[in-house]
Chains A and B, each alone.
Chain A
Amino acid sequence: MLPDWIYDAIFLTAVVFLLGVYVSWRATRLDRLHVRVETARAALDAALVRRAAVALELAASRLLDPATSLVLATAAHEAHTADAEAREFAESDLSRALRAVMDQPDFAATVSARPEGQAVLEELTAASAKVVYARSFYNDAVASARTARRKLLVRVLPLAGRAAWPGFFEIDDDPPRP
């Protein structure tokens, strides 16, 4: 017969071990959420850069009148070069500029009639749609990560490590009418 304290010790070790497994599982999950936020952010950046590039391409293509070209080129350039703080405003402005340009009466028909016009328009439509998707997926990832980080365990133990508190990306990304 073993002394009682050995049973207590075994029990305690088991509890500590299981707790450890649980905490490490939670930490893995949280880490995965942070990776998802980062991946989604990279995809969002890529989508925004692509949209600005296609807008610039359209502006430079001589498919448009010079005034429209200038509106589009300015907005695309602003969006492309904005710093982190001004980024959301600049990207929203690009969305509005794109709508203002592309919602002109008969815009699509006029541009499509020219060589290359159809292809550029299709690329721009695709690029605008992808910004909407990428932003939704990014904000969704941010929401999941934030929820996880508000949990008691994560706040008490430093499970999040040095990962930054993720921020939503809020812009007007309504695409032009197809």
Chain B
Amino acid sequence: MRVGIVCPYTWNVPGGVQQHIRDLAEALIGYGHHVSVITPADDDARLPDYVVSAGRAVPVPYNGSVARLAFGFLSASRVRRWIHDGAFDVLHVHEPAAPSLGLLACWAADGPIVGTFHASYTKSRVVSVTAPILQSALEKITGRIAVSEAARKTLVEHLGGDAVLIPNGVATERYAMADPLPGWPGRDTTGTGALTGAGAGPDADGGVLGFLGRMDEPRKGLQVLLRAFEILGPRRPGLRLLLAGPGDADDVVARVSPGLRDRVVVLGMVSEADKIRAYHSVDVFVAPNLGGESFGIVLAEAMSAGAPILASDIEAFDRVLLGGRAGALFPVGDAAALAASAAELLDDPARRKQLSAEARAAVRRYDWSAVARDVLRVYETVALPGRTVVESPGRGAQGA
């Protein structure tokens, strides 16, 4: 199948939408499909060979912040030519309601168009004014996808209509292998059973509990883990806590008893690479969330890294962890139960090893290859046999 994907934001600027498109395009190419992506890009940017530049994006104030968007006659004519030359079976437009390439592509094309909506916002200042302009372009989209329940809700409330839910995938391979952070024992990722660096010192095999998430957001449940550490810490002198995520580090350390403070390490915000290394540095990854998670991308990442998981038994986690088979569960908010389960896991390397393997297997369902397969089904549903996406007639002036 020939697929044309439209990216609204500058390719080489890090962002969720760009990452999504990159992962999707590569998964589709992996399935043997022809994929071309058109995107705003800086002139000197190095692009993969499946990516076509539509020119530079311009920073403009939009919807309460400054966004880098591509619009104007030049972008419109490049999109038009790309559609004409591409002879795509399906055009896949991302974030079509943003005033960028996606909207231009909707104007310029006729035929099977799939639109993926990423953004979620509770209030939009401009939608009431812009709705009529958007409407006639968005009406051309034949299949709509939302990446989250929140994005779907935003779509329903602000633009009307409905969408099917296909969540973001996890690039499980990206997390599979990494060296532990310096000074942390880490787990064996080779499958030989040996703990790498276990001999580094008397403290190195005392065990490490890990947490990643917003530290100042009560729903992420860090306070439950800290209470559990107050129980476990005095009994297990080598046990350490590795915390990562946005939030005030001093504030977190202040919540720990003075005697235990030197065993709590707060990394704060970490780079993507260090995040992956952090997942590989812990003996047990704890997800003590109190609720409000629809899926738990952090949990999926930790599972991809093969971290043995100990998670609260909220519905989303219970589902992802296959009812406890791919990770241990404890009653939500129960610090004593968390402590007891963590102690059990720390004392049982064989069980940790088994959970690690089960987690890696279970997370494959959320891998990009599975998500791309669902997106392909959407393509197949809207594609018209024997017809390709064509340029929309008579849109010369309005298309710009």
Contact = CB atoms under 8 A, between A and B. Distances in A.
Interface of A: 29, 32-33, 36, 39-40, 43, 47, 126, 129-130, 132-134, 136-137, 139-141, 143-144, 147, 178
A143 B161 contact: yes
A130 B377 contact: yes
Contacts of A139: 162
A137 B113 CA distance: 11
Given A33-B139, A39-B384, A140-B144, A133 B160 contact: no
A133 B161 contact: no
B52 interface: no
Q: Ordered nearest first, which 8 A-B pairs have the shortest CB separation?
A: A133-B381, A137-B143, A140-B161, A136-B164, A134-B381, A130-B381, A140-B162, A129-B377
Q: Which of A39, A40, A140 has the most CB of B within 10 A?
A: A140
Contacts, number: 51
A32 B374 CA distance: 27
16 contacts: A29-B136, A29-B139, A32-B139, A32-B140, A39-B142, A129-B377, A134-B381, A136-B162, A136-B163, A137-B142, A137-B144, A137-B164, A137-B381, A140-B161, A140-B163, A144-B160
A137 B112 CA distance: 12
Contacts of B315: none
A47 B381 contact: yes
Given A139-B162, A178-B365, 6 more contacts: A39-B142, A133-B164, A133-B381, A134-B381, A137-B381, A143-B162
A130 B380 contact: yes
Contacts of B381: 43, 47, 130, 133-134, 137
Nearest to A29: B136
Q: Is the interface of A mostly helix, strand, loop or mixed?
A: helix
Nearest to B114: A137
Nearest to B376: A126
Nearest to A141: B142
B382 interface: yes
A6 B335 CA distance: 87
A136 B160 CA distance: 13
A147 B131 CA distance: 14
Given A36-B142, A136-B163, A144-B161, A126 B377 contact: yes
Contact of B377 (A36, A133, A141): A133
Q: Classify chain B: how many residues form its interface, as a range.
A: 10 to 19
Contacts of A32: 139-140
Interface string B367-379: 0000000100110
Contacts of B142: 36, 39-40, 137, 141
A17 to B, nearest CB: 17
B163 A36 contact: no
Contacts of B377: 126, 129-130, 133
Nearest to B112: A39
Instruction: Choose among A130, A132, A134, A136 the residue with the greatest number of B CB atoms under 10 Å from its CB.
Output: A136
A126 B376 CA distance: 10
Interface string B147-191: 000000000000011111000000000000000000000000000
Nearest to A25: B136
Given A129-B374, A129-B377, A143-B160, A137 B382 contact: yes
Contacts of B374: 129
B194 to A, nearest CB: 34
A36 B143 CA distance: 10
Contacts of A126: 377
Max chain A C-beta neighbours (<10 A), residue from B374, B380, B384: B380
A160 to B, nearest CB: 15
A147 B132 CA distance: 13
Contacts of B162: 136, 139-140, 143
B384 to A, nearest CB: 7
Nearest to A139: B162
Contacts of B163: 136, 140
Which of B144, B160, B161 has its CB near the most chain A CB atoms (within 10 A)? B161
Nearest to A128: B377
A74 B122 CA distance: 47
A167 to B, nearest CB: 16
Contacts of A130: 377, 380-381
Q: Name, among A43, A47, A141, the residue most crowded by chain B CB atoms within 10 Å (CB to CB).
A: A43
Contacts of B365: 178
A178 B143 CA distance: 23
B159 to A, nearest CB: 10
A29 B142 CA distance: 14
Q: Give the one of A40, A126, A133, A134 with max B CB within 10 A.
A: A133
A147 B160 contact: yes
A144 B159 CA distance: 11
Nearest to B385: A46
A126 B374 CA distance: 8
Contacts of A136: 144, 162-164
